[in-house]
Amino acid sequence: MTEPPNAAETPGFSARYTERAAAWEKQAKELGARSRLLSNLRGLSFAVFAGSCVALLARAPSEIATPLALLGFAAFLGLVFVHARLIDQQDLAERWVDVNRAALSRAAHDFAAIADLGEGLAPSGHMFAGDLDLFGRASLFQRLSVARTRFGRERLAEILLEPATLEQARLRQHAVQQLASDLELCQRFEAHALGVAGQKPGPGGRVRSAVNPEPLLKWAESTPSLVNDPLSRFGSLLLPPLTIGALVAYFGFGAPGWPALLGLVAQALLLVRAARETGIAFGAVSATEGAFLRYGALLEIVEGLSHEDPLLRDLKARLETSSGMPSRAMNQFKSIVGWFDLRHNGLVHPIVNLILLWDIHCTLALERWQLRAGKHLRVWFDVIGWFEALSSLAAFARDEPDAVYPELDEGPARFEAEALGHPLIAPGRRVPNDVSLAAPGTALLVTGSNMSGKSTLLRAMGLATVLALAGAPVPARRFRVSRLVPATSIRVADSLEAGVSHFYAEIGKLKRVVDAAQGPSPVLFLLDEVLHGTNSRERQIGARWVLARLLELGSLGAVSTHDQELCRLPDALMSTVRLVHLRESVKDGSMTFDYKVYPGPVSSGNALRLMRNIGLEVPLE
């Protein structure tokens, strides 16, 4: 594949991805034009061959027709080979176009144009995934993911769901910085990965689930049986030559036919005896080989990594085996599977299989490959997953030039951010705020009117922690954080099917938060409108107890509320809780919000004004 034409360097992600997409689209069109030309030449060469054959049958001069037939046939075969390579090049160029269009959609926060929502990756009842929008429409997974294989998608989900140790996060940070500076490498990997499932990630695209390689993995990790069967091994070597010799003697020299018949019967019995093993092997490779062979290009890219980064070097080292790198094993696998393709020919396969014991030979070759490489497959796929996950974080870093890599603090629990923004809001629209929780047992009590941004602030804090411990940069001017486990109660839903009321669902989430605070890791609690499903008196008592209990356990976090009474906390709590608020402005009857955090409690609400704005004529006093 040739490189796309160089485009002038223009500041901003929009120009960069747009120009790269246009350059690859131009190349794809040029390859398409050449493909159509070759297709026409193929037809012409076959017509010359066919016409020459007809002329020979019609007694035309052989000294003219024979060379033309041979030339036409040779040209046809050569053009078929060249055309196949050209089609592959065009397909790859079109995938490069898709890669850059998808990158533009992610960087522009055009979530409607991003197909992969991370569906099926969020475990039910997770401590913070649902509240922080890790998966689904307009989610963190949508914003980050350049993973196209199921291994990459699962690995990215895992590092978002499970906060890493600080050592792991630092290693990832360094690897992400290295990959963020190598756009060409990351996009080449993504373009080849798109070929695994044939995904279309851009506008109007739909994510198809990649072929499940689990049947192949289970077969590869199982104990081979045919290769350990002496009768199959030696019978497949000795019987076909003897049987073919007997057939030649019978048809060519008039020898008795019973030796040939005996040989064919013996071979048929051997095929029946080995049918289970040959069927298992064929089933494993026929269901996955197309996608599996495409993984070879991804493994080859990792094999060629030259970055001096410990984590990337480790990924490359994990591919090494006693028999060499995966690319060699993949080429061997490709050849063996090519032999097995004869099974798809219903006319030729039964005859060839009976005479040559074709299925047994193919299965023996596959099982020998299985012994050499089978136990490494899962490791190879895991390496692919890790590279895609790190590349996803690197893409985010590349598109967020103002984001910072957080300072990961080994000391007591803390969360300190300057100009912290919400990563799922476009840079031009997000409003940054300073947030400081400098010690265990401290909290923010966030008050404010409806729509002022309280929940957004809580989610920004949670997502910043998730990104930091995944190894990614954070949209902030400065961010310092210890290893914190987010525990949230922001979005609460009842369930008619399960018979769970809204209030009961909420107290269940609060119990999980308190339970997590009693665990071994410091907790960052984020609670929105605590106990708003009950009366004011019980709400105040319950909310104060929850907050006090979390602070006693050394957790830190933020609680948002509309209830002014929650701002009247006991002196013991007030010493560790800071009151802040978000507000709206009213001008000429219209409300506007600046989404900025101010010290102290909010002085008024806006519920009645919002009701009047939509046509409900409630009195304002």
Is residue 364 located within the same domain as residue 428? no
Can you name the residues that pair with 123 across neighbouring β-strands? none
Q: In degrees rounded to 5, what are phi and psi of residue 436?
A: -135, 120
Residue 433 has pLDDT above 90, yes or no: yes
Measured distance CA(277)–CA(231) in Å, rounded = 14
For residue 551, what is the domain's CATH number? 3.40.50.300
Residue 521 has pLDDT above 60, yes or no: yes
State residue 159's pLDDT score: 96
Measured distance CA(510)–CA(442) in Å, rounded = 18
State residue 133's pLDDT score: 93
* Residue (of 580, 266, 284) closest to 448 by Cα position: 580
Is residue 250 located within the same domain as residue 289? no
Does residue 473 sit within a domain? yes
Residue 207 has pLDDT above 70, yes or no: no
Q: What is the largest CA-CA distance in the chain?
A: 115
What is the rounded average pLDDT of the residues 106-121? 89
State residue 417's pLDDT score: 96
Residue 3 has pLDDT above 70, yes or no: no
Residue 425 has pLDDT above 90, yes or no: yes
What is the rounded average pLDDT of the residues 319-325? 77
State residue 218's pLDDT score: 83
Is residue 192 located within the same domain as residue 308? yes
Does residue 4 sit within a domain? yes
Does residue 124 sit within a domain? no
For a pLDDT cut of 70, what percent of the chain falls above it? 86
Is residue 289 located within the same domain as residue 159? yes
Does residue 148 sit within a domain? yes
Give the pair of three-digit tokens for residue 212.
């499940």
Is residue 342 located within the same domain as residue 449? no
Residue 62 has pLDDT above 70, yes or no: no
> DSSP per residue over 524-573, as a string?
EEEEESTTTTS-HHHHHHHHHHHHHHHHHTT-EEEEEES-GGGGS--HHH
Is residue 421 located within the same domain as residue 382? no
What is the rounded average pLDDT of the residues 92-113? 91
**Beta carbons of 466 and 140 less than 8 angstroms apart:** yes
Residue 262 has pLDDT above 50, yes or no: yes
State residue 617's pLDDT score: 53
pTM of this prediction exceeds 0.75: yes
Is residue 497 located within the same domain as residue 576? yes
Residue 14 has pLDDT above 90, yes or no: no
Q: Work out whether the CA dihedral 493, 498, 501, 507 comes out positive or negative.
A: negative
What is the rounded average pLDDT of the residues 475-480? 96
Q: Which domain holds residue 40?
A: 1-98
pLDDT category of residue 477 using cuts at 50, 70 and 90? very high
Is residue 251 located within the same domain as residue 283? no
State residue 64's pLDDT score: 79
pLDDT category of residue 428 using cuts at 50, 70 and 90? confident
* Residue (of 435, 398, 405) closest to 419 by Cα position: 435
Q: Which amino acid is at 392?
A: S
State residue 203's pLDDT score: 47
Is residue 596 located within the same domain as residue 472? yes
Residue 604 has pLDDT above 70, yes or no: no
- Examine the fold and report which residue of 240, 273, 306 is the final residue of a domain before the chain moves on: 273
State residue 210's pLDDT score: 55
Residue 444 has pLDDT above 50, yes or no: yes
Residue 420 or 564, more confident: 420
Q: In degrees rounded to 5, what are phi and psi of residue 567?
A: -80, -10
- Examine the fold and report which residue of 346, 368, 399 is the final residue of a domain before the chain moves on: 399
Q: Work out whether the CA dihedral 186, 188, 194, 200 comes out positive or negative.
A: positive
- Examine the fold and report which residue of 46, 72, 98 is the final residue of a domain before the chain moves on: 98
8-state DSSP, 402:
T
State residue 204's pLDDT score: 47
State residue 272's pLDDT score: 94
For a pLDDT cut of 90, what percent of the chain falls above it? 43
Is residue 70 located within the same domain as residue 154? no
What is the rounded average pLDDT of the residues 239-262? 87
Does residue 132 sit within a domain? no
Can you name the residues that pair with 478 across neighbouring β-strands? 418
Residue 297 or 9, more confident: 297
Helix, strand and coil percent figures for the chain, each rounded to 5 = 60, 10, 30
User: What's the chain's average pLDDT?
Assistant: 84
Is residue 348 located within the same domain as residue 291? yes
* pLDDT tens digit sequence for 541-594: 888 888 889 999 999 999 988 777 777 777 877 888 999 988 877 665 566 778
What is the rounded average pLDDT of the residues 239-263? 87
CB atoms within 10 A of CB 6: 8
Residue 259 has pLDDT above 80, yes or no: yes
Is residue 165 located within the same domain as residue 296? yes
Does residue 108 sit within a domain? no
* pLDDT tens digit sequence for 335-382: 888 787 778 777 778 888 898 999 999 999 988 988 888 888 889 999
What is the rounded average pLDDT of the residues 34-56? 86
Does residue 107 sit within a domain? no
13 vs 101, 106, 178, 269, 388, CA distance in Å? 11, 10, 18, 66, 20
Can you name the residues that pair with 417 across neighbouring β-strands? 435, 479
Tally of domains within the chain: 4
* pLDDT tens digit sequence for 121-140: 988 889 999 999 999 999 99
pLDDT category of residue 145 using cuts at 50, 70 and 90? very high
Does residue 19 sit within a domain? yes
State residue 344's pLDDT score: 74
